[in-house]
Amino acid sequence: MAESVGTRNATQAPPCTVVIFGATGDLTARLLMPAIYNLSRTGLLSQNFALVGLGRTQQSDDAFRQSQTDAMKRFVASGDHGGTPNPLDEKAWDFIASRTSYMSGDLADAATYQELSKKLDQISAKNGTKGNVLFYLAVAAQMFGPIIDQLGAAGLAEEKDGYWRRVIIEKPFGTDLDSAKALNTRVLKVLNENQVYRMDHFLGKETVQNIMALRFANGIFEPLWNRDHIDHVQITVAETVSVEHRAAFYEQTGAMRDMVPNHVFQLVSLTAMEPPNSFDPDAVRTEKSKALQAIEPFDDDALRRNVVRGQYAGGTVRGEAVPAYRNAEGVAPDSMTETFVAMRLNIDTWRWAGVPFYLRTGKSMGRRTTQIAIQFKGAPLALFRDTAVDNISPNVLVLQIQPDEGVSLQFSAKRPGPEIHLGGVKMDFRYKDYFNAAPATGYETLVYDCMVGDPTLFQRADSVEAGWSVVQPIFDMWKNDRSAPLEFYPAGSAGPEGSDQMLWRSGRAWRSLD
């Protein structure tokens, strides 16, 4: 049984109505509604809770409830997201379904928002939600600005009489630095920063949240968390899936836009941030933003040496043949879109000077894994000069984000026998072995935090722009210099050779994906 120290039980969220824009889409059925269901199961939803689905499809309240019920039954039966297949918790689901309604409308039409305003007034009077409203934008990114404009014009973003109005915006927040700045400007004309919750669902992962606990609640780690003791940091976000049926979208996006300024940089900032002076949301987010702002800008020479882009060719992933990206429907035969990107970052702070951060992310790779590996500097061999020891296994602290969330530490130990031979050994901590974690999509914490007004795990405007600022020179080079190399790697591999060479030049190597 794990010991719980310094914990506090989560309190029930306040009364509110959740309005889901794009309620008939895949995100709602696959992730958002299961998250709300899990909150209901754990008793974290207020008794004065209501939900409004808003979409373009014409259907009745009953038809929408039934479609979501069918999707929820498939979810619990599948055992997705770490759960064990089991029957639907009828009581928890009925609580949500009985408080769910639907309305159809054109999201660009002011009349839709006038109708929504009336509906929210009726719900507040009936269900006692007290005017608190959480708007969730589960829609295409190009609709973020227009929807927020309309919320403002209809008076739906206005906070009064002690009631709150908050908006969750899914990624991608912009497609480059200019568009991110423009969207921030547009949003903040209607909403205050404390009303805006920029979602990155990676931050709902338990191990991501545990990074700060690991660093700041353990006296053995934080004193070593600096350039004096750490050789380098590796962050890997590898996917086995190909672009599948999303090729048309991916052609306009690529691995860099899809993953790096959001998911990957969130892991960078949590690893590199300075200790905040408290766990106040703004204190934490300020330190995260400062870490990103301290990343050294790329010049042309650094771009060519320290950024590698790749695209998967044909190969085999988990025993199944995968055609080349360029053979996918909707992809140009000479496409330069990257499905893999690796880079070396330098963070110009006292803590991290001289410690490289190596990042890689890609599709159709040999194994699905997300991890942060902290490799410590090696011990001197002088003590072992008269022994059979000719090298020492590096000390590596690995934070495994997914799958099998946990933390491991590798160190050296003497092998049994009369002579001194060293071997690398590993201590493993897995969440499932110590804690009775309930099945989760990763959205539960984030939705709950928005309901209670805790923005710690959401991105602030300056953090979003800091991330885009780092990668914008890369986009500019790829756009303006067609000679910038694009390497190919077999599907099912660990990426292109240039990614390995980037580390080899400094005598380092990527951790194996196996």
Q: How far is CA 211 from the centre of its chain?
A: 14
Phi, psi at residue 20, to the nearest 5°?
-105, 110
Q: What is the pLDDT of residue 383?
A: 55
According to CATH, the topology of domain 16-170 is Rossmann fold (3.40.50)
Q: What is the pLDDT of residue 420?
A: 61
Where do the H-state alpha helices sit in 337-434? 431-434
H or E stretch at 513: none
How many residues are given for the chain?
514
Active site (catalytic) residues: 263
d(CA 393, CA 207): 25
Closest by CA to 176, choosing from 415, 441, 475, is 475
Please give the structure tokens belonging to residue 215.
Answer: 């660093």
Rg (CA), the chain: 24
Closest by CA to 12, choosing from 38, 42, 33, is 42
**Can you give the residue ranges of every domain in the chain?**
16-170, 203-377+459-504
d(CA 299, CA 240): 32
Q: What is the pLDDT of residue 418?
A: 65
d(CA 361, CA 256): 8
pTM more than 0.85: yes
Per the CB < 8 A criterion, the answer to whether 62 and 94 are in contact is no
The residue behind tokens 């700045």 is: 181
Q: Tell me how far CA of residue 20 lies from CA of 25, 53, 191, 344, in angstroms.
A: 10, 5, 18, 39
Burial tier of 499 (Cβ tally within 10 Å: 0-12, 13-18, 19+):
buried
Per the CB < 8 A criterion, the answer to whether 463 and 292 are in contact is yes
* CB atoms closer than 10 angstroms to residue 190: 20
Please give the structure tokens belonging to residue 134.
Answer: 């959480």
d(CA 159, CA 151): 12
Q: What is the pLDDT of residue 5?
A: 35
Kindly list the averaged pLDDT for each block of 10 residues, start to end, along the chain of length 514. 43 94 90 92 92 93 93 80 69 94 93 94 82 94 95 94 93 91 96 93 71 86 93 96 85 92 93 90 92 93 92 93 92 94 96 97 94 87 54 83 84 66 72 67 88 91 94 92 86 95 94 86
Per the CB < 8 A criterion, the answer to whether 340 and 310 are in contact is yes
Closest by CA to 364, choosing from 323, 336, 331, is 323
3-state per-residue secondary structure call for 107-155: CCCHHHHHHHHHHHHHHHHHHCCCCCEEEEECCCHHHHHHHHHHHHHCC
How far is the first Cα of the chain from the last one, in angstroms, to the nearest whole number?
31
Write out the CATH class of domain 203-377+459-504.
Answer: alpha beta
**Sequence-separated contacts (24+) of 325-332 with Cβ below 8 Å:** 325/242, 325/243, 325/247, 325/364, 328/242, 328/243, 328/247, 329/245, 329/247, 330/247, 330/248, 330/251, 331/243, 331/247, 331/250, 331/251, 332/251
- State yes or no: cis peptide before 403, omega within 30 of 0: yes
Q: What is the pLDDT of residue 3?
A: 38
